[in-house]
Amino acid sequence: MRVSRFEDLLVWQKSINQSLLIYRYYAKNLDWGFKNQIQRASVSIANNIAEGFDRSSDKEFKRFLFIALGSASEVRSMNYLGFKLNYISIEEFNECNNQLIEISKMLNGLSRSLNRNEVKYL
Q: Which amino acid is at 4?
A: S
Residue 28 CA: distances (Å) to CA of 53, 74, 86, 105: 33, 21, 13, 30
What pTM was estimated for this model as a whole? 0.90
Dist CA 57 CA 26 (whole Å): 36
pLDDT recorded at residue 6: 94
Domains of the chain (ranges, CATH numbers): 2-121 (1.20.1440.60)
Confidence of residue 121 (pLDDT cuts 50, 70, 90): very low
pLDDT recorded at residue 4: 86
Asked if 97 and 79 touch (Cβ cutoff 8 Å), the reply is: yes
Say which range, 6-15, 65-74, 107-116, has the weakest mean pLDDT.
107-116
Q: Which residue has the higher pLDDT, 51 or 121?
A: 51
pLDDT recorded at residue 118: 55
pLDDT recorded at residue 122: 35
Confidence of residue 114 (pLDDT cuts 50, 70, 90): confident
**Could you read off the pLDDT of 76-103 as tens digits, one per residue?**
999 999 999 999 999 999 999 999 999 9
Number of Cα atoms under 13 Å in the Cβ half of residue 16? 9
**Could you read off the pLDDT of 13-69 as tens digits, one per residue?**
999 999 999 999 999 999 999 999 999 999 999 999 999 999 878 899 999 999 999
